[in-house]
Amino acid sequence: MRKLLIFATCLLLSVTGMYAQRVLYMGDSVTDGGWGRSGGSAAASEQRNHSDLNHIYGHSYMMLCASHYEAFYPEKNLVFLNRGISGDDMDRLEARWEKDVINNRPDVLSLLIGTNDVHYWLRDSKKPFALDEWEQRYRRLLDRTREVNPDVRFVLCTPFVAKVGSVGAASDYALREKTIAEVNERVCRIAKDYDAVVLRFDSLFRDLQSSHPDVAMSHWIWDGIHPTAAGHKMMADLWIKESGKLLNVKGGR
């Protein structure tokens, strides 16, 4: 009965144009960006400041996406939520999925995960990276979200790595790069099965390097994993270009 009431209410609001879409960004430190005055820590969502609107989004690509839509489409009253937490891998993501995703009932869920799964695995890579298991867990999270909101749309983002900084100088860089590429193949396969928008952030940074041969890769990604301000800007532009069609806005800027 409660689910039926919620559905009916959402349908009515949608028809009358009063419904505000909820767009939630989930992931690790690349998405986190220190939102809620976390100071770069891995503080849980409920431990962060949710009232300071100067810092509610952090400083990642997520903030640039939210600011774009809130500036150009204020009448749509779109609701943006950052739930990225630094250091997250699939284990930590699963542990907080109910609290940070299901309870927030997103209409659009943007997910960027995988970097830390590979990073932690490299500390003890005696066994092959469990790609099949990782993919199955990823799919279960999407399925759980659809159970609550069958109309939810997904934006699945590929992790990336660059041969710069301490990560690029490490002896295991080639293995890291190869494994990230394998993870990205799975993300693309999942995106196809779930009719999701797939954002190839890995291709984005390779293209930037190719199109700006005189610019060091550290201009875009400073330590091999984390983008600079310029990198986040390019990620946001790609998100807006490819994922904006999921939002209740017409045209673009």
When pLDDT is cut at 50, 70 and 90, the band that residue 3 belongs to is very low
Render pLDDT for 83-112 as a digit per residue (tens, 0 to 9).
999 999 999 999 999 999 999 999 999 999
Residue 125 C-beta-side C-alpha neighbours within 13 Å: 15
Max Cα-Cα span within the chain: 62
User: Is residue 166 scored above 70 in pLDDT?
Assistant: yes
When pLDDT is cut at 50, 70 and 90, the band that residue 124 belongs to is confident
When pLDDT is cut at 50, 70 and 90, the band that residue 126 belongs to is confident
Token representation of residue 45? 């969502």
User: Is residue 118 scored above 60 in pLDDT?
Assistant: yes
CA triple 245-71-7, angle to 5 deg? 50
pTM for the full predicted model? 0.91
Mean pLDDT of 227-253: 89
Question: What's the chain's average pLDDT?
Answer: 92
What pLDDT score was predicted for residue 18?
58
CB-count exposure of residue 249 (10 Å: 0-12, 13-18, 19+): middle
What pLDDT score was predicted for residue 250?
66
When pLDDT is cut at 50, 70 and 90, the band that residue 14 belongs to is very low
The total of other beta-carbon atoms located within 10 Å of residue 111's CB is 26
Mean pLDDT of 120-138: 93
φ, ψ at 5 (rounded to 5°): -65, -45
